[in-house]
Amino acid sequence: MSGAADEGLRIASFNVNGIRASVRRGFGSWLAERAPDVVGLQELRCPVEALPHEAWPGYHLAYHPGGIAGRNGVALLTRVAPIAVRMGFGSRAFDDEGRYLEIDVDLPGLPLTIGSLYVPKGGRPAEPAEQRAHRRKVAFLRSFGPYLTRARRRAAGAGREFCVLGDFNIAHGPLDLANPGGNVRNPGYLPQERAWLDGVLGPRSLLDVVRVHRPDERGPYSWWTWRGQGWNRDSGWRIDYHLVSPGLARRVVAAGTDREGSYEARMSDHSPVVVDYRR
């Protein structure tokens, strides 16, 4: 995929790992070249007054910074102004953390409800020092799963397609990480995390459109550690997803990851996941 989507719509998701740092590394140039109609962003980690608006000219910004300074934060950039913005998903425990933002937007030929999501990383349940992080991730998933069902049905009732995209911090299956055998006890590939994705995906509910479009491919990965030779060896994880309603999935014409050309050119420890749709 390259350039703007001809006679179609382009939707991207990108965990920027600090929007100001990502802008310094070339986010604005990527955005101008790829010209998506919608971009879901995660981990902006930026106060509202310090947002680098000059990096996204021509876009409307909806932003949920959360209440934890220097952490989290989710956003949606759209070429068409949203007609409704909802912060959080009705969770007393998590709505102040800046982990979910949802909008209704009427794109050309596509009334859409779209959410930008950042799931907690979690921890190893067998490690006492990490048990709390593991329990918080499990609690988040248990709360967010039923909300996804409600949001999807609400969108369908209003005649809208539905999409939730972002950093799920879960590799769903063996094709979604470079070393599945060595990670079965690590956060991001725990059985209960993968089972949660099993529960929200289905042919009549939500589809992982990158995997549908590229069913037998290892990856394409969306996250690589900054450390060591993981990037150069392409030893990564596919943990960033576009989960979409069946009607929207039928419109997909291209789907993949914008992996940068070199380690030095990376904008984040994640790379953008981009999906093109026909109108």
Which residues participate in catalysis according to the annotation?
167
Asked if 136 and 122 touch (Cβ cutoff 8 Å), the reply is yes
Edge-to-edge order in the sheet of strand 110-118: 84-87, 100-107, 110-118, 161-167, 240-244, 207-208
Residues making up the chain, counted from first to last: 279
